[in-house]
């Protein structure tokens, strides 16, 4: 039997909606509210915005602390520098993020969407700007319907100015993680920015303005792939935001001091506040829907009504299907354990890979010519060694051949490299006259840090000799 909770697509409703989530202009005008989950979301978003907008301005060791230097193909993060050869670690990090998302979705549904997704966070910020400039929900609906006037023009201009300001700052910040932010900001302020930088700043400015200002919930509903497949990860113990219909129905208005049983009603007073605060304009009382981003606004709204009515909180709450059916939510279940186990293994593997990451890089390229005879009459192959000092200090290295009796390495075998320096070193390997050798065999090159011999890197190449020696 499938454990999947069926989702309801509200674009083809099973029942005609009794509640109009959208106003006559077909826009969602959300109502302000307060509550525990709103406070958590604001605190989380504030922290994320601080990290995003603030980190880019930090310096570390005389350089921008976090910078993906595309021109030099290096990623600097505080004291560490990652090179293209290290990008396998990035793949591991992405896999960890994916399994983290799977595990948290199995456990608590769409908390990522509701609390930390940039689309949601920026949309809430833009909605706050809207409230500041155009007023509360009812005022905004009236303003939308009103003919153009000086008041409407001033309020709309203020809103779009704020939206654009945030969008430009976002575009600049995002590009600032790939191009040093200080000169970039100076270029923007003096109108001297051009070329690729200007294109990308404008691109991310437009993306923020359109996504958070205009598209909003449409991104979650129609563009985000996660919204489409997240329901297959749900099981009957996944925490989702749900309306307790057994307790709430029959819904209906009543006076504050009337107990539900006296009028044959459930606890839902049909105030529609849960619908008016919903950023995607759905009615949680219709059941779990694909459009629900798990923001918990409806919980805060309904709890405030329950408080006013003197009823117990939790008519809309985080709960599981098992709990709604009178059972208990099982925390430990095979799928959650599986995702968590893979997550822990991947994190451990990444930590080991980071700790053991070689701080020197060696690539060996054999010359295109097969072999040649040198001045002493010995068979010789030519190689180019590409050595990178990945540390933040000058380092001295020794280059040698491993387990290569009868072979002689010739060329520059002592190197001194500045921090981050890359050198191409031409060397040759000669086969001593009395050494038996096949026509092709593997040679292992090794570059070792002279002062810290545990820092080394090995790389293989082929040595080619004539068939008849």
Binding of ligand SF4 by 219 (CB under 6 A): no
**Smallest gap from residue 279 Cβ to ligand SF4 (A):** 6
CA–CA dist 362, 419 (Å, integer): 15
Binding of ligand SF4 by 343 (CB under 6 A): no
Q: Which residue, 84 or 252, is less far from ligand SF4 as judged by CB?
A: 252
Binding of ligand SF4 by 241 (CB under 6 A): yes
Binding of ligand SF4 by 315 (CB under 6 A): yes
Binding of ligand SF4 by 265 (CB under 6 A): no
CA–CA dist 181, 198 (Å, integer): 13
Helix 36-55 with 118-134: angle, nearest 10 deg: 110
326: region left, alpha or beta (phi > 0 left; psi from -120 to 50 alpha): left
CA–CA dist 267, 254 (Å, integer): 10
The token duo for 407 is: 């072979």
Binding of ligand SF4 by 187 (CB under 6 A): no
**Cβ proximity of 220 and 279 under 8 Å:** no
Q: Exposed, middle or buried, 9 (CB in 10 Å: 0-12/13-18/19+)?
A: exposed
> Total residues contacting ligand SF4 (rule CB under 6 A)?
30
**Smallest gap from residue 281 Cβ to ligand SF4 (A):** 8
Residues 6+ apart with CB under 8 A from 365: 383, 384, 386, 461
Among 181, 278, 359, 387, binds ligand SF4 (CB under 6 A): 278
Among 105, 280, 389, 448, binds ligand SF4 (CB under 6 A): 280
The token duo for 205 is: 């400015």
Residues 6+ apart with CB under 8 A from 339: 99, 102, 103, 106
Task: Provide the residue count of the chain.
Answer: 469
Among 45, 111, 221, 282, binds ligand SF4 (CB under 6 A): 282
**Smallest gap from residue 119 Cβ to ligand SF4 (A):** 13
Binding of ligand SF4 by 379 (CB under 6 A): no
**Smallest gap from residue 116 Cβ to ligand SF4 (A):** 14
CB atoms under 10 Å from CB of 264, counted, come to 9
Helix (H) or strand (E) holding 205: helix 195-208
Q: Which residue, 155 or 285, is less far from ligand SF4 as judged by CB?
A: 285
Phi, psi angle pair for 199, to nearest 5°: -60, -50
Binding of ligand SF4 by 284 (CB under 6 A): yes
Q: Give the interface segment with ligand SF4, choosing from 188-196, 240-248, 337-345, 383-391 (CB under 6 A).
A: 240-248
Residues 6+ apart with CB under 8 A from 280: 28, 217, 220, 221, 291, 292, 293
Binding of ligand SF4 by 269 (CB under 6 A): yes
Among 268, 324, 359, 360, binds ligand SF4 (CB under 6 A): 268
Q: Give the interface segment with ligand SF4, choosing from 174-182, 293-301, 373-381, 415-423 (CB under 6 A).
A: 293-301
Among 56, 296, 430, 431, binds ligand SF4 (CB under 6 A): 296
Binding mask 416-455 toward ligand SF4 (x if CB under 6 A, else -) reads: ----------------------------------------
**Smallest gap from residue 280 Cβ to ligand SF4 (A):** 5
List, as one string, the DSSP characters of 295-306: --HHHHHHHHHH
Among 96, 129, 193, 301, binds ligand SF4 (CB under 6 A): 301
Q: Which residue, 172 or 297, is less far from ligand SF4 as judged by CB?
A: 297
Among 7, 272, 317, 361, binds ligand SF4 (CB under 6 A): 272
Helix 181-189 with 150-176: angle, nearest 10 deg: 150
**Cβ proximity of 386 and 360 under 8 Å:** no
Residue 331 DSSP one-character state: S
Q: Which residue, 189 or 246, is less far from ligand SF4 as judged by CB?
A: 246
- Note the residues at the interface with ligand SF4 (CB under 6 A): 241, 243, 248, 251, 268-274, 277-280, 282, 284-285, 292-298, 301-302, 305, 315-316
């Amino acid at each position: 039997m499938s454990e999947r909770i069926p989702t309801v697509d509200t674009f083809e409703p099973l029942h005609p909606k009794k509640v109009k989530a959208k106003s006559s202009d077909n826009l969602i005008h959300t109502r302000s509210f307060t509550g525990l989950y709103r406070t958590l979301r604001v605190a989380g978003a504030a922290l994320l915005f601080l990290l995003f907008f603030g980190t880019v301005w930090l310096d570390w060791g005389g350089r921008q602390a976090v910078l993906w230097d595309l021109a030099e193909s290096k990623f600097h993060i505080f004291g560490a520098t990652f090179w293209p050869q290290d990008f396998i670690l990035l793949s591991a990090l992405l896999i960890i993020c994916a399994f983290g998302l799977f595990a948290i979705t199995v456990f608590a549904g769409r908390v990522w969407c509701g609390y930390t997704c940039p689309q949601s966070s920026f949309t809430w910020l833009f909605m706050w700007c809207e409230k500041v400039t155009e007023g509360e929900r009812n005022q905004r609906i009236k303003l939308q319907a009103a003919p153009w006037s000086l008041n409407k023009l001033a309020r709309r201009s203020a809103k779009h100015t704020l939206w654009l300001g945030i969008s430009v700052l976002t575009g600049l910040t995002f590009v600032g993680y790939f191009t040093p932010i200080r000169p970039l900001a100076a270029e923007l302020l003096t109108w001297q920015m051009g070329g690729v930088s200007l294109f990308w700043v404008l691109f991310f400015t437009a993306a923020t303005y359109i996504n958070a200002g205009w598209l909003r919930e449409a991104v979650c509903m129609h563009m985000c792939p996660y919204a489409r497949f997240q329901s297959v990860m749900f099981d009957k113990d996944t925490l989702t935001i749900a309306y307790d219909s057994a307790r709430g129905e029959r819904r209906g208005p009543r006076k504050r001091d009337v107990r539900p049983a006296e009028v044959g009603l459930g606890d839902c007073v049909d105030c529609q506040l849960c619908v008016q605060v919903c950023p995607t304009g759905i009615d949680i009382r219709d059941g779990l829907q694909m459009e629900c981003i798990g923001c918990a606004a409806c919980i805060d709204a309904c709890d405030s009504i329950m408080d006013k009515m003197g009823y117990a909180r939790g008519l809309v709450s985080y709960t599981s299907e098992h709990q709604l059916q009178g059972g208990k939510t099982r925390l430990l279940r095979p799928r959650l354990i599986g995702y968590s186990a893979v997550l822990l293994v991947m994190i451990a593997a990444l930590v080991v890979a980071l700790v053991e990451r070689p701080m020197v890089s060696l690539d060996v390229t054999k010359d295109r010519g097969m072999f040649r005879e040198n001045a002493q009459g010995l068979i010789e192959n030519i190689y180019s060694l590409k050595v990178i000092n990945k540390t933040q200090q000058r380092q001295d290295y020794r280059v040698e051949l491993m387990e290569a009796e009868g072979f002689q390495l010739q060329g520059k075998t002592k190197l001194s490299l500045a921090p981050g320096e890359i050198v191409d070193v031409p060397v040759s390997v000669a086969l001593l006259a009395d050494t038996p050798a096949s026509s092709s065999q593997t040679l292992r090159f090794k570059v070792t840090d002279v002062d810290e011999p545990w820092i080394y890197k090995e790389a293989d190449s082929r040595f080619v000799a004539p068939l008849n020696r």
